[in-house]
Amino acid sequence: MFKKKESLQMGTRRIRRSDGEYTLFFRKVSPFSNHHPADFICDEAINCKEPKTFCCSEQYYMYNKASLLMDSKLMAAILEATCPKTMKTMCSKWSLKGWKDSVWDENKEEVMRIGCLAKFRASRHLRYALFLTTGSKLVECSPFDKIWGIGKDMQAAQWAPLSSGKNLLGKILDGIREELWDDSNYKDEREEVEKRMETERDYLFTAIEHMDLMYKERATKRVLLFEEELLTDDRSYITPDIQRLLPDWAWPPILVKNEPIQPSLPVIIDFPRSSPLRAAEISRRKSTSHSTSLSKRRYLRSRSRSLSKSPARRRSRHLSRSGSRTPAQRHSRRSESTSRRRSGRHSRSRSRSPPRKRPVRRSRSRSRSRTPNRNWTRARSRTRSQAKSSSTLTWPLSPSRSRSNSNERNLKEKKDRKKKKSEKKRKHHSKSRKHRSKRSESREERHRRRKEKKREKKKKRRRRSSTTSD
């Protein structure tokens, strides 16, 4: 039922690498997972010494989180929960009031060790599965967790370095295995494993491979029983290979309908090579986009179109393109930029100066439409010095005289502008010639000129210092 590709991505698998042997595990299907269903009793919870029955090690871990905060309601809710994921969400640090990571970090490893030890002490078949991992290091291949796991999936863990995560759960399980292996109460189980290892060369590899398939088949049976598609557990997952490799007491117990943990099918996931959080965000966006109805999308489109057609939107768009500058200012800015490009005066060290604002000249048509008496406004715009010098002018001016004076003034202004432009061009050409002549000079001549300038500067400084001292 399960292919080789599927077994690589979840469950339990023992591998041999150049740096040693490892037992990789991930998901609820593996007996070493915290979400794997396993009933046990423990009375060593924080701030609570009453014996409680737990359905998995994850429930015990989350119960201790709630007991650290002395939250009795949350403790009762965790014991009533039937899914490990819901237990985890109930006790996430974002949903707990007054939570401190520093306090929990001091106790979390010890809490996990006590819970896992109680779990493997309580069930014989899980303990035998743990003994099959002797001579290897347990590694949780969770691509989503770099603290309890390594942050990589099972396929990547076969060749990639395993130091990418802390692997706290794997290290705790290694310590529990050594503790139970040396315990005299489980001497017969240890001897059974040793005897089979002597008779068969690769016994541990083959036993773990078939055990993994057995637990996967058993998970599907649990789902069928829960959905009432099966009436009883026929134990078809105990194949002839399992009967040959494992003793009778190492087989898992018969399944019952009303089990404490709600069953779910073993999910096969092709893990993305990108970060898992990013992949989860993308999948969430896709699901939300599919859930939105067509009518809602059409409404949003029509709304956006109507907004774009509105005059206010058009005005704002025009302002964003042109800015709050007038046409004369925009023209001046363009002319400055073109003159700079032609002159080639841009140097790396020199920064661009802000554009020079010129006085805005209004056309006659605009002034007529806006002001009823344009002669009055023009007379007022003149400076007092001009008004005093023109003895012929009266106040207010007659329309014929004011027009002639304004025309003369405009002509003068134009002439002045032309003169200034021509002077600027001459200066610019002279500078560019000097620059070219400097470039044409040899390296030695430039060096000599710089030295002379430095000497002159030194002489000037000496003279100034001598004058100040006197």
Mean pLDDT value across residues 211-216: 94
d(CA 135, CA 72): 43
Query: Which of these ranges, 120-134, 146-160, 361-375, has the smallest mean pLDDT?
Result: 361-375
Would 419 be classed as within a structural domain? yes
Would 147 be classed as within a structural domain? yes
Would 70 be classed as within a structural domain? no
Mean pLDDT value across residues 296-303: 60
At residue 265, the pLDDT reads 54
Range of the domain at 181: 4-38+123-285
At residue 394, the pLDDT reads 42
Contacts of 153 (CB under 8 A, 6+ apart): 9, 26, 141, 143, 271
d(CA 261, CA 267): 16
Domain boundary among 250, 270, 285: 285
Would 457 be classed as within a structural domain? yes
pTM value? 0.57
Q: In the sheet that 11-17 helps form, which strands lie side by side, from edge to edge? A: 11-17, 20-26, 137-140
Mean pLDDT value across residues 207-211: 95
Same-domain check for residues 8 and 151: yes
Domain boundary among 262, 285, 308: 285
Domain total of the chain: 2
Would 350 be classed as within a structural domain? no
| SS3 of residue 40 by DSSP | strand
Classify residue 288 by burial, with Cβ atoms within 10 Å: 0-12, 13-18, 19+: exposed
With contact defined as beta carbons under 8 Å apart, do 137 and 184 qualify? no
Would 399 be classed as within a structural domain? no
With contact defined as beta carbons under 8 Å apart, do 21 and 135 qualify? yes
d(CA 94, CA 81): 19
Dump pLDDT digits (tens) for 46-94: 888 889 999 999 999 999 999 998 889 999 999 999 899 999 999 887 7
Would 87 be classed as within a structural domain? no
Domain boundary among 220, 253, 285: 285
d(CA 116, CA 119): 5
Structure letter (DSSP) for residue 276: H
Dump pLDDT digits (tens) for 255-265: 988 777 777 65
Dump pLDDT digits (tens) for 387-442: 444 444 444 444 455 556 677 888 888 888 888 888 877 777 665 555 555 555 67
Would 209 be classed as within a structural domain? yes
Same-domain check for residues 14 and 157: yes
At residue 112, the pLDDT reads 96
